[in-house]
Structure 1
Amino acid sequence: MGQLSLADKMGNKQTTFSEEQLDNYVDTTFLAKAEILRVFKRFCEIQEPPVNLRSVTYEQLKQIVINYTELSKCPELKENPFRKRICRVFSSDDSASLTFDEFLNLYSIFSEKAPREMKVHYAFLIYDFDGDNFVGPTDIEHAVKLLTQNELAMEEIESIWEKVLYEADIDDDKKLSSSEFEHVITKSPDFITTFHFRI
């Protein structure tokens, strides 16, 4: 299978992906070819120094790892208070640095075509700061501090997590399981719109 010329889609000649490689990404993500190419362009642009879109080979691309400082320059992440946590969840080694495949997976999950259950699953991982498979008081405290930029007093934060647990903790074990978390987050009308990147 020959290399794909992307001149029509990207406005420049670039031969990083073969048709087969692109088709494989379409099959394993919730993204269309044009979206994959836009994510690829973004990945190359945010690296210091930027990667040359026209000359990077697929093998070279697979070797690139972008660190958190560079990732936080992405327009979709820059203003998000959870950006570091999001990067850590999508990085295989918890470092908040991402390979191209991990970066693509991040954009795939935040795309509008990703199913709600998948978004809920990743939202749970993002909120589970301590990685114990539950969202407990300290996890909620972390989230509230990020969302409010540390502007609330400790008593106010405690009041918030107590209210969340009171409303969502069905088995009264002082923490939310993934199903309890799903129950509460899917009732939020804003969830799908906030868990979304426009690519």
Structure 2
Amino acid sequence: MGNKQTIFTDEQLDAYQDCTFFTRKEILRYVLRSVLQTVTPQLCNIKESESLNIITFAEDIQSKHFQGLHGRYHELAPHLVPMDYTNDPDCKLPLALIVNMPELKENPFRSRIVESFSEDGMGNLSFNEFVDMFSVLSEMAPRELKAIYAFKIYDYNVDNYLCKEDLEKTLNKLTKEELTPEEVELVCTKTIEEADLDGDSKLSYSDFENMITRAPDFLSTFHIRI
């Protein structure tokens, strides 16, 4: 990046912070309304205490992190991403560039992670979406928010449930396909039997949330440092 300084107007900084978990003002609108409603209707029943955790997280994020993330975004494609944002450029970087970042390229869920944060579902990320992704995956993000996105990432067929096929794909990714098909079948069947509270043979977000509360270490590694 040399000595170049990222240039934003004060209004742009305020606008970016408003929609990327950075301020209290917009956190409920952006996360609890926009994100939760697009992930699954069940998530709209998030507890008040969990909402407060998300708000606290937003207030803890500082503008310097935002500026640093822009530097990383710019490094991925200097010919596409301007340093000067005063003209409000319309820029998105493709999945192929994002997943090859050192922070992501060894992650077995790298494509699903990026796709889950992209508006088009194809992994093309605007700067806002890029910031959202690393904010949620930071160590400071609350467990409740990580759980929401973990569910979204594992929901391969995007039907707002984790079915047996979703769990099989997830398990194969987690184990690097070292289990036999029979072992995968057994684990996924047992998981649904134990976690499916309403007996519909698939896991809702409530089922998933209840399951991971019994596994406190489940989300402990659900973070990426940048």
TM-score interval, normalised by the smaller of the two chains: 0.7 to 0.9
TM-score (norm 2): 0.74
Distance in 2, matches of 1:49 and 1:25, equals 22
Task: After superposition, give the CA deviation of every residue in 1:175-196 in whole Å (9 maximum; x if it has no partner).
Answer: 1011010111233222342222
Match of 1:38 among 59, 64, 68: 68
Residue in 2 that maps onto 1:93: 120
CA displacement at 1:167 relative to structure 2 = 1.9
Match of 2:111 among 57, 69, 84: 84
Distance in 1, matches of 2:63 and 2:121, equals 28
Deviates more, 1:133-142 or 1:12-21: 12-21
Match of 1:141 among 168, 183, 201: 168
The within-5 A match list for 1:130-169 is 130-169=157-196
Conserved 8 A contact 1:130-1:139: yes
Residue in 2 that maps onto 1:173: 200
Distance in 1, matches of 2:152 and 2:105, equals 20
Conserved 8 A contact 2:80-2:91: no
Match of 2:12 among 4, 21, 45: 21
Give the unaligned 5+ runs of structure 2: 22-57
Tell me: CA distance 1:171–1:37, structure 2 relative to 1, closer, same or farther (3 Å).
same
Give the unaligned 5+ runs of structure 1: 1-9
Task: After superposition, give the CA deviation of every residue in 1:13-37 in whole Å (9 maximum; x if it has no partner).
Answer: 4242123322343343133111111
The within-5 A match list for 1:92-131 is 92-131=119-158
TM-score (norm 1): 0.84
Name the SS of the counterpart of 2:72 in structure 1.
Answer: helix
Conserved 8 A contact 1:81-1:147: yes
The count of aligned residue pairs is: 187
CA displacement at 1:152 relative to structure 2 = 2.1
Please say if 1:47 is aligned against 2:77: yes
Residue in 2 that maps onto 1:6: none
Output the amino acid matched with 1:12: N
Output the amino acid matched with 1:145: N
Task: After superposition, give the CA deviation of every residue in 1:112-142 in whole Å (9 maximum; x if it has no partner).
Answer: 3333222211111111111111101000011
Tell me: CA distance 1:74–1:152, structure 2 relative to 1, closer, same or farther (3 Å).
same
Distance in 2, matches of 1:15 and 1:81, equals 32
CA displacement at 1:58 relative to structure 2 = 4.0
Distance in 1, matches of 2:67 and 2:6, equals 11
CA displacement at 1:153 relative to structure 2 = 1.6
Conserved 8 A contact 1:48-1:70: no
Residue in 2 that maps onto 1:4: none
Distance in 2, matches of 1:89 and 1:163, equals 27
Distance in 2, matches of 1:49 and 1:13, equals 14
Output the amino acid matched with 1:163: K
Conserved 8 A contact 1:40-1:100: yes
Determine what percentage of the aligned residue pairs are the same residue: 43
Please say if 1:198 is aligned against 2:189: no
- Two-structure CA RMSD over aligned residues (Å): 2.2
Name the SS of the counterpart of 2:121 in structure 1.
Answer: coil
Residue in 1 that maps onto 2:87: 59
Name the SS of the counterpart of 2:211 in structure 1.
Answer: helix
